[in-house]
Structure 1
Amino acid sequence: MSTLPYLAGVELGGTKVFVLRARGRTIEERVMIPTTTPQETLSAAAALLRRWHEAGPFEALGIGSFGPLRLDRAAADFGHMLPTPKPGWTGADIYGALAGVLPCPAAIDTDVNGAALAEVRWGAGAEGDGPSDCLCYITIGTGLGAGFALHGRPLHGAMHPELGHIMTRRAPDDSFEGACPFHSDCIEGLVSGPALAKRFGVAGNRIAADDPRWDDVAHDIAQMVGTILLTTAARQVLIGGGVGMGRTDLLERVRAKVVAQLAGYLPFVTEATIGSIVRPPALGDQAGPLGAVALAMDALEAARLR
């Protein structure tokens, strides 16, 4: 029988929530809840956490959520959702609704920062001689989010990274106006799932791989990747999510365009190395749930050190 403590995890996404119970990095139970209203969604997740805790007490809770989030513990609205395109979720108290039902240490971060931590510890960032010192995890799906693990810790500052809303240089002759309600043609507004549906007129998974319109999408994603490599010198840029992992042909186009756009300026980015730098997450669709587990482990470690 395992002597590892029970850990609780919640991965809160824009369309679905995974609530899980784990021992170490082994997820023993997982339940999916649709993301509807904050009240309905968070109440259902909290009720499940309470029930599991009564059956076998949790030692810590990790919450990985879509954002933007307030992560400054000194702020009055710590753990709340900041203005978001997700209807009804602005101002939602994510941390309070979930951590408030369990008498144990808890941590909250973005789902992508959590996934980056999981990939550093157990995935792509752990495949070399030691943990990667700088890894970026991107999810492209309902929105576009990016998290960074820097020296084994999530990157924070005034906020967390909001890479989805950077502006990139557009492909020549691309007239697509974008789909972001805040910025129109930021990178999320150009390549997220809803943006692709607006750009193509149908869902992206119904567009043939050889459709020439994918060239503009690959150009835009490559612009983002190039920006990451130039600003952070990340060793890996992992592209996950429904768009990221669902189209290997698109990833190949992105790699070629990254090399071409950087034009030899970064000596570590070449045709020979780009495949190991820009790649899918090694943990696949488990990066997000395991990210919540990684955050729970960090919360437990921090509590033990206090």
Structure 2
Amino acid sequence: MDLTTHSDTGFSPLFISARDGLKLHARDYGPLAATALPVVCLPGFARTAADFHELALALAKDEAKPRRVLAVDYRGRGLSEYDRDWKNYDIRIELDDLMQLLVAAGIEGAVFVGTSRGGLLTMAMGAARPGVIKGVVMNDIGPVIDARGLLRIRGYVGKLPMPRSFTEGAEILKRLSDQQFPQFGDAEWEMMARRTWTDRDGRMRSDYDPNLMKVLEELDLEVPLPVLWSYFDGLNGVPVLAIRGANSDLMAEKTLVEMGQRHPDCETFVAPGQGHAPLLGTKDMVRRIGRLVARAERRAA
């Protein structure tokens, strides 16, 4: 384990080895010795830990109760090593990676914040290691996935033109997703560009392995997708906050409603003006998630 403090960024990079030796990365926010319930943030399919930066900082630096927050880069994304075999970009392997990461970080129980694929991983973790899950935020993902959203995502992952600058990248993303996020201004599109591409190596490139597109190309979207209500029902013992973007094409409104009806302690929220997936760093979202974390902490105690 390699842990170096970067106080200017608000987090420390945490590197561990997966079971197959692949190097995995997570951002480690907040005091390691914090007694408060930790939070683990799991991003979308081709997204990175950076998506949770504002939320993680707010939770980690809360004056009343600072807490540890771990934001994960899956294999092939962000600062985690790319896999030579794209077929290992599989949710079962990513679940094992996550388990290894939690052990290395010394986290035995946490609130899990899962965006899109991160929510699927959270439900899988609930089945495999239910005791680890103390509370859940499901961001624009549920037990029923709308194939329209997957079709749209498959249309651009690994296929976007390479911008010459982040400003140009922002324009590309705006043309692609303006209907999903009509209220975004230049600042939001620029932020999204900086979390889609990187210039760490002195040149612009995607912040994920382009071979991820092969995983999506293998999906037969003519066949109904698996329905995961039994996995969601496995979360009945912990509080849940289920969020849906009002313009989402991946999560239907009726799925959100049913989640609220089936679960004994599930708060539902529709993020106005946002699609897949809503940003979690706004003041309102941070407050909502903070309340869920506090609820989970009271119950866990």
What TM-score does the superposition give when structure 2 sets the normalisation length? 0.30
Q: Mark the structure with the bigger radius of gyration.
A: 1
What TM-score does the superposition give when structure 1 sets the normalisation length? 0.30
